[in-house]
Chain A
């Protein structure tokens, strides 16, 4: 899967990761994939809920290293 853009939210706490995510996804075309990397545990529950609500697909969710989460989101 081709990653169109990577959004680095490491070190940021609520609400910055979700704000940056919502803004960045706006700039993508339908079907394109955004990679988001972050360290705020809140994102682990906020992001899937937001995807469900907005219809964007959460394609992958995992931990790249201790405490660093990675999400792949495909725009609706």
Chain B
């Protein structure tokens, strides 16, 4: 028969392993955790809001606003490039799996995207970090402030989810109406996506190769960013999902995937800090204090709360926004725009006066091993992850805290 499928070749089969189906979220969590350790070994852990802020500062610099004239060009900024490459990596992942399309949602969703992005920007600049820096990296970095930031994230997520459900019940028209999809592929159509995927990937490797001679660390960040974006897109790794879904549909896969990444990160980060690996010319103490920010406790709590509101309204955390931008979700383009435009404004004009008003005891660097020793600090983080795990699994069975 003419349409009978022939068996794929060995290389085609390998390609299909990665791109025919989504990966389980925990595979994403584990591989992202490993790459996070490698980033820390080479320089410093994964972060996202700083990179997005760098883009915003460069836009204001281009507009000639003097407050931002010292912004590092994105091409030389490690985190600016890392974020950019996460978008490109996700773009490549979506192209390889023929999942790329420009998806333009109804107008109300675009507005929510922008507002969510703006709130994330305020939360990140106030709380010193986002779901990556102050959660996915901050918690394994044994930062007390990151744990408090996480509590704020949870609270913000739950409240914003209640808003979304209310909006859906009372104003269903806000999230419905005209939508458009362009450039989509199907099983038989759109082979160009796979070709473009190769061009993007090979182009990135050439870029990294050219940079490697003068800045090896940046080259490594470029390759890691590409892989991280691709992994996120394939596993649909999203931290809002991890926090929100237990309270929405009761689903726990997203949460467990993130926990897997935290566990891997915890092992690697603890070793790096304990032995001062990669300290170079800086002190071991400086290495230990990497990704421990002056946010304990109120600063982290407030920032986390606002960030939690924003990411839930936008439908993407810092990294969830970036990789959905690469996949062609235009709502998240608006979220990224809101984030990058508001972040520098918040950082320079809004946050300083708030932070000044906060007493020092509410915004200091708290490094858990200083209080509990390394073993104690690791045990505390493990206990938190275990309690979270038991909660989401129990909730999945009973539906006690699920909205639906």
Contacts and interface: CB of A to CB of B under 8 A. Distances in A.
A66 B175 contact: no
A39 B324 CA distance: 13
B236 A45 contact: yes
Interface stretch (B130-138, B183-191, B299-307): B183-191
Interface string B70-100: 0000000000000000000000001000010
Interface in A5-62: 8, 10-16, 18-20, 22-23, 26, 39-42, 44-46, 49-50, 53
Contacts of A23: 168-169, 404
A49 B253 contact: yes
Given A11-B104, A41-B327, A22 B244 contact: no
B248 A15 contact: yes
28 contacts: A11-B103, A11-B181, A12-B106, A12-B175, A13-B316, A13-B332, A15-B241, A15-B244, A15-B248, A16-B315, A19-B248, A22-B248, A23-B168, A39-B103, A39-B184, A41-B22, A41-B94, A41-B236, A44-B22, A49-B253, A50-B249, A53-B251, A65-B184, A66-B185, A66-B189, A66-B190, A67-B186, A68-B184
Contacts of A39: 101, 103, 179, 181, 184
Given A13-B329, A53-B249, 12 more contacts: A13-B315, A14-B241, A19-B168, A20-B175, A22-B404, A23-B404, A40-B103, A41-B236, A45-B22, A50-B251, A66-B101, A67-B185
Nearest to B164: A19
Interface string B215-244: 000000000000000000000101011001
B249 A67 contact: no
Contacts of B324: 13
The 5 closest A-B pairs by CB, nearest first: A67-B184, A11-B179, A22-B404, A11-B105, A66-B186
A36 B109 CA distance: 19
A16 B109 contact: yes
Interface of A: 8, 10-16, 18-20, 22-23, 26, 39-42, 44-46, 49-50, 53, 63, 65-68
A19 B331 contact: no
B101 A14 contact: no
B315 A15 contact: yes
Interface in B240-280: 240-241, 244-245, 248-251, 253
Contacts, number: 101
Contacts of B104: 11
Contact of B238 (A14, A16, A22, A50): A14
A10 B102 CA distance: 12
Contacts of B379: none
A42 B396 contact: no
B196 interface: no
A53 B106 CA distance: 30
B181 A26 contact: no
